[in-house]
Amino acid sequence: MGRAFAARTTGGGGGRLGRILASPLLFLNLLLSIIVLGLAGWMLDRDISRGSFGGNRVTPWLSIFSLIAGMTSLASIMAGLHHIRLWKPDTGAAAQATSWISWFLLVLAFCLAWKEIRVGGRGTRHKVLEAFVIILTITKFLYTVALYLVDKGTTTMTSTTGSKPEIPVTTTGVTHMSDAPVAASAV
């Protein structure tokens, strides 16, 4: 004990390689997310205007979950763009967290797309939405894993020696910071 650890970013090609890998996938995910949002929004609007959902009984759920997954994907893309611009460990953590959440919601839409394919009885535009949801789920997963692996390789934990970490100490109800632990006396 007595050693503190600090995260630091190693210099070199890790950041450059990460940007090269993440940028095209991020741009592809942006395009796919916009297409999914457009198709799912159109499908939901049309079905609300008609008063009934076309396709099969899975169609309303697919359109709703595709909209939710598409919007979280856009939020994840914004965090990813911010990370690519700055390329720091804290922006990488935010980009990874939002990307994983977005991917899990896309997996829900992906499962509904497969269910709608299995049930059958749907139109051409429903098939296009299903295809784009499946493709977006795969590309989002590739982007998320690439971001995780590249950021994992560029951040290391190093030991700092020569200084004692500050430990909060409570004596008589007052909390203060001290260089060494103080034994509290029984009063």
Other residues' Cβ atoms within 10 Å of the Cβ of residue 34:
14
CA 60 to chain centre: 25
**Full 3-state SS string of 75-90:** HHHHHHHHHHHHCCHH
pLDDT tens over the chain, length 187 residues = 444 433 344 444 456 777 888 899 999 999 999 999 999 999 999 888 988 777 788 989 999 999 999 999 999 999 999 999 998 889 999 999 999 999 999 999 999 999 999 998 888 889 999 999 999 999 999 999 988 887 666 544 344 454 555 555 444 555 545 444 555 555 5
**pLDDT of res. 19:** 80
**pLDDT of res. 185:** 55
Rounded to whole angstroms, the Cα distance separating 153 from 132 reads 31
- Through-space distance between the first and last CA atoms of the chain, rounded to whole angstroms: 29
pTM: 0.74
Distances (CA, A) of 156 to 23, 89, 117, 170: 23, 10, 45, 33
CA torsion 118-122-126-127 (nearest 10°) is 60
Q: Where are the domains positioned within the chain?
A: 4-178
**pLDDT of res. 3:** 42
